[in-house]
Amino acid sequence: MPRAAPLDRWPRAAQSCFLAGLTALIGCVSEGEEPPLICADGFVWDDTSEFCLEQALVPIEGDVLVSTEQAMHALCAQGDAVTGDLVIAPGVVDLDPLDCVREVGGSIVIEDVPGLTSASLPRLRRVGKDLRVQVDPDLLELRLPALESTGGAVVVQYDPRLEVLEAPVLASTGAFLSIYSNAALQEVSLPTLATVGPVDRSANQVLYVRLNNAATRISMPELTRVSGVLKLSSNDSVTELDLGRLETLGMGMYLSYNRQLRSLTIPVAEVGGFVYFDHTSATSIDLPRLESVGASFNVIFNEDLTAISAPSLSRIGDALIIADNPNLSQVVIDAFVGGIEEVGGPTRVEGNGAR
């Protein structure tokens, strides 16, 4: 296939198609214009359709374990997809020789691999089951620039030196997502993540971000749904939280001990289970779109809290507890409680600030 021109020399229609993010159809053409002779990695130009079509995978059957550079090169000499699990074992120092891998039907397991400093899989687009990267004492960076989805969980935890986590096009996980106890991680940014867990509500499908104490930002601006619980806790340096499109939490929300996060704005409209704001450092909690909570609603032990607002909240399925918030005045509490039409359990308001 001829070498392509740079993007700025493509026909205008092709540029528009590319820039719109249509990664599966990079190369729209208009009548009388020459097609762009370039396709995204893993795609080939088809003269009949005048589209870039995905290359057929070359599968390697069964599970694959690699522990040497030679083994990784041998894998790529056979194919570009593993039908079973891909396990990275001690002896591997980086994943550069696995730049061929486009899909794994089972799980990817990178666990307890001393000496591994860089884990980059630049062509990986799909994982059928879990992605588990954990207990890797020397890992500095995890880069998955093409990963779009997993059929199971994504687990990145107990990687004490991990500074960079990159998954810029990850849109969905089939099960829970845990980013836990990565002491050096600089930020938790998943810019295209939209859904966590299956469509059905499940308490096990948690989005869990905890004990990433160097991270200053948690950003998931396209997140719309979590099947289970959203739990953000004990990320001591986080000053910015972006959940700009969040609509539904299937089983609950728990925010606590994020010591530098002074303002909490959560745009969720429906929470199927409980809500907890517990030991936060926030001065304000704003829930501008929240309409209903399936179980209890709890605002407890928030020493600096002075404002709470949920102007659309009409129903709480169980108890309403606002307690031990020493700077939250009774005037603010009365305004908050007065707008709620239905509380399915007891209401307890005590230990808060004076009027």
Domains contained in the chain, number: 2
Q: Which of 16, 35, 54 is the last residue of a domain?
A: 54
For residue 109, is it within any domain? yes
For residue 148, is it within any domain? yes
For residue 314, is it within any domain? no
For residue 91, is it within any domain? yes
Q: Are residues 106 and 61 in the same domain?
A: yes
For residue 211, is it within any domain? no
Domain residues for the domain of 25 are: 7-54
For residue 341, is it within any domain? no
Q: Are residues 47 and 122 in the same domain?
A: no
Whole-number percent of the chain with pLDDT over 70: 88
For residue 275, is it within any domain? no
For residue 116, is it within any domain? yes
Question: Which pLDDT score is estimated for 33?
Answer: 52
Q: Are residues 33 and 96 in the same domain?
A: no
Q: Are residues 91 and 50 in the same domain?
A: no
Q: Are residues 92 and 153 in the same domain?
A: yes
Q: Are residues 80 and 96 in the same domain?
A: yes
Q: Which of 126, 157, 188 is the last residue of a domain?
A: 157
Q: Which of 39, 54, 69 is the last residue of a domain?
A: 54
Q: Are residues 85 and 114 in the same domain?
A: yes
3-state secondary structure the chain: CCCCCCHHHCCHHHHHHHHCCCHHHCCCCCCCCCCCCCCCCCEEEECCCCEEEECCCCEECCCEEECCHHHHHHHHHHCCEECCCEEECCCCCECHHHCCCCEECCCEEEECCCCCCEEECCCCCEECCCEEEECCCCCCEEECCCCCEECCCEEEECCCCCCEEECCCCCEECCCEEEECCCCCCCEECCCCCEECCCCCCCCCCEEEECCCCCCEEECCCCCEECCEEEEECCCCCCEEECCCCCEECCEEEEECCCCCCEEECCCCEECCEEEEECCCCCEEECCCCCEECCCEEEECCCCCCEEECCCCCEECCCEEEECCCCCCHHHHHHHHHCCCEECCCEEEECCCCC
Question: Which pLDDT score is estimated for 121?
Answer: 98
**pLDDT beneath 70: ranges in the chain:** 1-38, 41, 355
Q: Are residues 111 and 146 in the same domain?
A: yes
Q: Are residues 78 and 136 in the same domain?
A: yes
Q: Are residues 77 and 28 in the same domain?
A: no
Q: Are residues 76 and 137 in the same domain?
A: yes
Q: pTM, whole model, 2 decimals?
A: 0.86
Q: Are residues 121 and 66 in the same domain?
A: yes
